[in-house]
Amino acid sequence: MTETPTPETTSSVFPGLSAAESEKMEAAFGDIAQRSQKLLQDFAERYKADGPQPADPLRLTHTFMDFTAKMLADPAKLAQAQMELWTQYMQLWQATAQRMMGQKAEPVAVPAKGDKRFNDPAWKDEVVFDYIKQSYLLTSRWLQHTVKEVEGVDDKTAQKVEFYTRQFVDAMSPSNFALTNPQVLKATLETKGENLVKGLQNLLTDLERGKGKLAIRQTDMTAFKVGENVASSPGKVVYQNDLMQLIQYAPTTEEVHRVPLLIVPPWINKFYILDLKPENSFIRWATGQGYTVFVISWVNPDERLTKLVFEDYMKLGPLAALGAIEQATGERQVSAIGYCIGGTLMATTLAYMAARGDDRIINCTFFTAQVDFTEPGELGVFIDEDQLAGVEQVMSKTGYLDGTSMATTFNMLRANDLIWSFVVNNYLMGKDPFPFDLLFWNADATRMPAAMHSYYLRNMYQQNLLVKPGGIVIDNVPIDLRKISIPVYMQSGKEDHIAPAKSVYKATQIFTGPVRFMLAGSGHIAGVVNPPHAKKYQHWLNETDTNPPTLAEWQEGAKEHPGSWWHDWDKWLAEKSGPMVPARVPGEGGLPAIEDAPGSYVKVRLID
């Protein structure tokens, strides 16, 4: 009697796989083929409509050609550098040979502290992978060091070459390739290649999300919904115009300070970085301290708003908000906060108001905000004439800069954490990214109107005109930041890679009123969003009456304090916020509620 074959014994199309596994793999490849064909068709149609894209979109060819010429101009120095690398290789060979013979050997190169790429034990325990790791570290460090040592290169070019060299070095890490990553090899053997097939499907999903451009998912995008588990603090939209909605948040105390608080966030990202989960929401915490909190929620501009300029963001943003707050509360004067580029806008607005004798803002807090762009950090790499012209050419086609372009720029500043770790997890390991509210917000990109964005990049970053008295003129008013004489609280992040603390500190030498400068632990986001209950990081304060000329001098006299700086800020602001009055309910004052917080503007997404 012939035995009926079971799925386990049926011949498989894929050697080494059971019939069930083979069927599953066939279905996956069928799905991949169908989706790939659709993507190729879409690409062909776009190529036909838009024409071929430039081979050098960042316009780096000329920069690297000039740099290479200067490097080759000193062949003796280059030969010496090559000999040093060869010597290090020989040391690595010797150490590896010792390990292969069962002897102990000290590593020639070890990963930097905090480098998570080589955390898997195999990178250290397995001789072959240890050799691959150390060989990469030696080569990458040699390359970056050699680039820094080239003479005759101006600072701007040197910074650009160093930055893009690091991008290349990070991309070539052995952890980014399936055959040289022990974790990926192990997963491939254990899943019989299913991880790579799933990774290919993830890759196609991200290409589909980006409409042909790779939009790497950094988190589970289905795990969060704006207004439900992020941006969920209760409140009402009480005013709106074409550019923004103004949200008034519900009080959580019976009494509040008389002076309302207006928060002006950056328009490059959504405001709810200050209102993620309830336990780390700055907005919710501030209402708990007895402040009537108003927040601007910027629109996500589309084709209808391409003509907006920087002046519009001031008039339709904070200035319009001041009038609305007075209608809603009856209070003419307010406290203000400006975050990042929102702080740059606030400084411009304060100088404009001072010139016109407008005293409605009686104090201002700046979160990681630059006004002097002499040393803007690595973002300055993108601000030269060639690259600005490239950005303006791209914007000329649509009238705005697509939000994903700006998001990619910020991700490049921390490529290993924000790009390559997800390439490995999503495409090589075939895993889905974990739910993380901060990365959900990070992926919620916004557009920038062409005229406004070009004005900001050229006048602030490239020419640094904001810091020059009368360097820019808004509504026929020459802007002079020295006229800002109200009390200022200035926050900066010790490890901020977007608005470096040294650059932020420069404002202490410009504003003429009392400035309380505070240096927080961590960076551009965690340095701000650090609730007291978390008991994380630290902050530094210098209690001298005046701020010395440089951040380094300020740090010499600064004292470290554990944990969050929020209570220090609250103490500073409470003294300037007037007596306590009955709490104000949004929509029950002079402005009726339009809709529930967080409003509709913030829910306009570019990619789901």
Q: What is the DSSP letter of 301?
A: -
Catalytic residue among 336, 340, 602, 606: 340
Task: Supply the DSSP string of 22-74, one letter for each residue.
Answer: HHHHHHHHHHHHHHHHHHHHHHHHHHHHH-PPPS-TT--HHHHHHHHHHHHT-
CA–CA dist 606, 213 (Å, integer): 13
Count of beta carbons in the 10 Å neighbourhood of residue 222: 10
Rounded Cα distance, 465 and 12, in Å: 70
Contacts of 125 (CB under 8 A, 6+ apart): none
Say if residues 370 and 338 touch (Cβ distance below 8 Å).
Answer: no
What is the three-class DSSP state of 209? Answer: helix
Q: Are strands 400-401 and 361-367 parallel, antiparallel or unpaired?
A: unpaired
Place of tokens 């509360």: 329
21/17 Cα distance (integer angstroms)? 6
**340: annotated active-site residue:** yes
Q: Which residues of 479-510 are buried (b: 16+ CB within 10 A; e: fewer)?
A: bbbebbebbbbbbbbbebebbbbebbbbbbeb
Q: How many CB atoms lie within 10 A of CB 128?
A: 12
Q: Three-state DSSP class for 356?
A: coil
Rounded alpha-carbon distances, angstroms, from residue 187 to 268, 424, 428, 445: 38, 12, 9, 33
Spatial separation of the C-alpha atoms in residues 268 and 453, rounded to whole Å? 10
Distance of CA 580 to the CA centre of its chain: 38
Q: Give me the residue label for tokens 């030269």.
A: 384
Strands (E), 318-419: 334-339, 361-367, 400-401
- Looking at the annotation, which residues are catalytic? 340
